[in-house]
Amino acid sequence: MAEQIHADRILILDFGSQVTQLIARRLRESGVYCEIIPFNADEARIRAFKPKGVILSGGPASVLDKDAPLPTPAVYELGVPVFGICYGQQAMCLQLGGKVEPGETREFGRAFVDMREASTIAQGDWKPGERQQVWMSHGDRVTALPPGFKVVGNSEGAPYAFVTDEKRKLYGVQFHPEVVHTPHGAELYRAFTHDICGCKGDWTMAAYKTQAIEKLRQQIGKGRVICGLSGGVDSAVTAVLLHEAIGSQLTCIFVDTGMMRAGEADEVVTLFRDHYNIPLVHVDAGKQFLDKLAGVTDPETKRKTIGGLFIDVFDAEASKLGGADFLAQGTLYPDVIESVSFTGGPSVTIKSHHNVGGLPARMKLKLVEPLRELFKDEVRALGRELGLPDVFVGRHPFPGPGLAIRIPGDITFEKLEILRKADRIYLEEIRNAGLYDAIWQAFAVLLPVKTVGVMGDGRTYDNVCALRAVTSTDGMTADYFPFSHEFLGRAATRIINEVRGINRVVYDITSKPPGTIEWE
Ligand SMILES: Nc1ncnc2c1ncn2[C@@H]1O[C@H](COP(=O)(O)OP(=O)(O)OP(=O)(O)O)[C@@H](O)[C@H]1O
Ligand SMILES: O=c1[nH]c(=O)c2[nH+]cn([C@@H]3O[C@H](COP(=O)(O)O)[C@@H](O)[C@H]3O)c2[nH]1
Ligand SMILES: NC(=O)CC[C@H](N)C(=O)O
Ligand SMILES: [Mg+2]
């Protein structure tokens, strides 16, 4: 557990909700330090953390299941306030003597809570008489309250949508105040942490930086570290943070996987060498990656194969350098939550990010991942704190598996070349239109679908190219970018005219969820 640099600490027990980390974000945005640990942490671990308050997250399980995940009942006896969210509320009510039953109708998405009674946690927009939009995602619901509790608000599907025990400082909501679709949800967390738990709200990115550097020094000691540097903002911030922490014990390694975008390898290496005096090894592993991926079509197999290849390359480079003890990666929280549950709790796998679920068990190097609990926008703020130039901080994300997950089906050099050309034109058009910074991420996808066209009076039978561009703040949710028709027409025409092998272009207007940003 982290050195206790900061006194005002809130503990979040994770029951595996896809949005648990958003609770942490809402807290951090209001200047409160917090950590997320698995729901089954024992009393000693919870006490050692010295929390000023505990939050129980939502989760996919049902408290009615045999073996349902439940926190140690000691959390209600610590003498600090507890706030249960959705599953957390159900668990709290059940453990303290209330009742939970499957609802007749499940509530997903937008709902409205009518506030009925006053509570210290429900101020401002949550005062009695207010009607608040909230976001629900539950099947079960509380049907009888534990002794000492009262209802302060209800919705159509949840008569106990908002309950409190003012005396014991226990609070529970059936909805999710941490998501943006509960527009005034953050106020509830703020009231909980600041007014009820007494946090001052003085935790900042500058504080995080100091703490992260200190933690890195403790973890690494005199060890040697290699850092996978991709040119993306995460690994650039990781490298610079490490350099501040351990100086010359660090070497960076850029792996050209052969699945990079046009011109990318040179650009990254030049950019980094121009700005930093940190040793950087450039490995050309294109052939190794392509050979191993030949014939691989399943997205998860692709990801795991690539994860394994990265480690092979890192291991080989480490030996060339005379050995290394640690591998540093710019792994972020969104990379983690969709691969395995954060800190080992019970959530489901969506895709194995190459640097997390894709890592092979045989790894020799120990991992150093200082950004593992941060979201992208927080990493960008940390980058600015570290003085990174805008060319790094503002770069669109590019996934480690690269173009491999933008070519559904098997990958060949020819397909990669076609995609590189299309992608370059698309991004060029985006830059020319002055839209690069307004978009979170944009790329082209080469579809394994052939369609008939007519060009120069001749018949063509070529592939379809899909264009994707999204807005987002953290990659967890995203919406498609509303390009003008004129822009889309121009980009499509250029791609079809200039790239042999593509005769049709489509624009992807799927949001996340239900889609993901990448196609595989
Ligand atoms: N080509 C590469 N060479 C070396 N390491 C890589 C490469 N691609 C990815 N990695 C490692 O995997 C980590 C995760 O990749 P990811 O794409 O999520 O982050 P990033 O590239 O640093 O930032 P961004 O998300 O902005 O692209 C990187 O931080 C880096 O450590
Ligand atoms: O380094 C990475 N390794 C991966 O395996 C990987 N998969 C997706 N991504 C990036 O993560 C963000 C969310 O992507 P998805 O909506 O497709 O899950 C988007 O920014 C994706 O580009 C990856 N990054
Ligand atoms: N989002 C949640 O926490 C859901 C809790 C529980 N799985 C239910 O369906 O009621
Ligand atoms: Mg990247």
Helix (H) or strand (E) holding 293: helix 286-293
Going by the DSSP 8-state scheme, the letter that residue 93 receives in this structure is H
Over residues 240-291, the pLDDT tens digits come to: 999 999 999 999 999 999 999 999 999 889 988 888 889 999 999 999 999 9
Per-residue confidence (pLDDT) for residue 137, from 0 to 100: 86
Per-residue confidence (pLDDT) for residue 481, from 0 to 100: 98
Per-residue confidence (pLDDT) for residue 339, from 0 to 100: 41
Question: Closest residue (by CA) to atom 15 of ligand 1?
Answer: 400
Comparing CA positions, the residue from 78, 358, 381 lying closest to residue 228 is 358
Catalytic site includes residue 86 = yes
* Ligand 2 atom nearest residue 441's Cα: 20
Q: Residues near ligand 2 with C-beta < 6 Å?
A: 303, 334-335, 338, 351, 353-355, 397, 399-401, 441, 475, 512, 516-518
Mapping DSSP to helix (H, G, I), strand (E, B) and coil, where does residue 484 land? Answer: coil
Torsion of the alpha carbons at 499, 460, 506 and 350, rounded to the nearest 10: -90
Q: What angle do CA 35, 36, 37 make, to 5 degrees?
A: 120
Task: Judge whether 218 and 3 are in contact, CB under 8 Å.
Answer: yes
The verdict on the CB of residue 23 being under 6 Å from ligand 3 is no
Per-residue confidence (pLDDT) for residue 337, from 0 to 100: 58
Q: Could you list the residues known to form a binding site for ATP, using ranges.
A: 230-236
Per-residue confidence (pLDDT) for residue 1, from 0 to 100: 40
pTM over 0.95: no
CA distance 330 to 263: 22
Name the phi and psi angles at 229, rounded to 5: -110, 125
Domains delineated in the chain: 9-196 (3.40.50.880), 205-393 (3.40.50.620), 412-507 (3.30.300.10)
CA distance 154 to 199: 28
Per-residue confidence (pLDDT) for residue 85, from 0 to 100: 98
Q: Could you list the residues known to form a binding site, using ranges.
A: 230-236
DSSP output for 119-143: BTTB-GGGSTT-EEEEEEEEEEEEE
The verdict on the CB of residue 20 being under 6 Å from ligand 3 is no
From the first residue on, what is the mean pLDDT of each consecutive set of 10 residues in the chain (520 residues)? 66 91 91 90 96 96 94 97 98 98 81 96 97 92 96 92 98 95 95 98 89 94 95 93 96 96 91 89 97 97 93 92 92 64 52 62 81 87 92 90 97 98 98 97 98 92 98 84 98 97 97 91
Distances from the Cα of 74 to the Cα of 58, 77, 154, 210, 505, angstroms? 19, 5, 28, 33, 59
> Hey, which of 235, 281, 313, 326 would you mutate to test ligand 1's pocket, going by the most ligand atoms within 8 Å of its Cβ?
235
Comparing CA positions, the residue from 396, 378, 338, 337 lying closest to residue 26 is 378
CB crowding 475-489: b at 16 or more within 10 Å, else e? bbbbebbebeeebbe
Helix (H) or strand (E) holding 195: none
Q: Residues near ligand 1 with C-beta < 6 Å?
A: 228-230, 232-235, 253-255, 257, 329-331, 335, 355, 395, 397-400
Maximum distance among all alpha carbons in the chain?
A: 81
Q: How far is the CA of 48 from the centre of ligand 3 (A)?
A: 29
**Distance from first CA to last CA of the chain, Å, rounded?**
35
DSSP output for 207-248: HHHHHHHHHHHHHHTT--EEEE--SSHHHHHHHHHHHHHHGG
Per-residue confidence (pLDDT) for residue 476, from 0 to 100: 76
CA distance 479 to 441: 11
Per-residue confidence (pLDDT) for residue 349, from 0 to 100: 63
* Residue labelled with tokens 């958003």: 22
Task: Judge whether 385 and 267 are in contact, CB under 8 Å.
Answer: no
Q: Is 513 exposed, middle or buried (0-12, 13-18, 19+ CB in 10 A)?
A: exposed
Return residues with CB closer than 5 A to ligand 4 (ion): 230, 232, 398
Per-residue confidence (pLDDT) for residue 348, from 0 to 100: 60
Task: Judge whether 124 and 187 are in contact, CB under 8 Å.
Answer: yes
Comparing CA positions, the residue from 40, 32, 39 lying closest to residue 10 is 32
ipTM value? 0.88
Comparing CA positions, the residue from 341, 331, 461, 460 lying closest to residue 400 is 331
Distances from the Cα of 355 to the Cα of 138, 304, 432, angstroms? 32, 9, 33
Task: Pick the catalytic residue from 178, 338, 378, 429.
Answer: 178
Q: How far is the CA of 398 from the centre of ligand 4 (A)?
A: 4
The verdict on the CB of residue 138 being under 6 Å from ligand 3 is yes
Task: Judge whether 251 and 279 are in contact, CB under 8 Å.
Answer: yes
Per-residue confidence (pLDDT) for residue 347, from 0 to 100: 56
Over residues 67-113, the pLDDT tens digits come to: 999 999 999 999 999 999 999 999 999 999 999 999 777 777 889 99
* Ligand 1 atom nearest residue 355's Cα: 12
DSSP output for 32-87: -EEEEEETT--HHHHHHH--SEEEE---SS-TTSTT-----GGGGGSSS-EEEETH
Comparing CA positions, the residue from 87, 95, 35 lying closest to residue 59 is 87
Task: Pick the catalytic residue from 93, 107, 176, 197.
Answer: 176
> Hey, which of 353, 474, 520 would you mutate to test ligand 2's pocket, going by the most ligand atoms within 8 Å of its Cβ?
353
* Ligand 2 atom nearest residue 398's Cα: 22
Mapping DSSP to helix (H, G, I), strand (E, B) and coil, where does residue 250 land? Answer: strand
Per-residue confidence (pLDDT) for residue 297, from 0 to 100: 97
Per-residue confidence (pLDDT) for residue 151, from 0 to 100: 97
Mapping DSSP to helix (H, G, I), strand (E, B) and coil, where does residue 114 land? Answer: strand
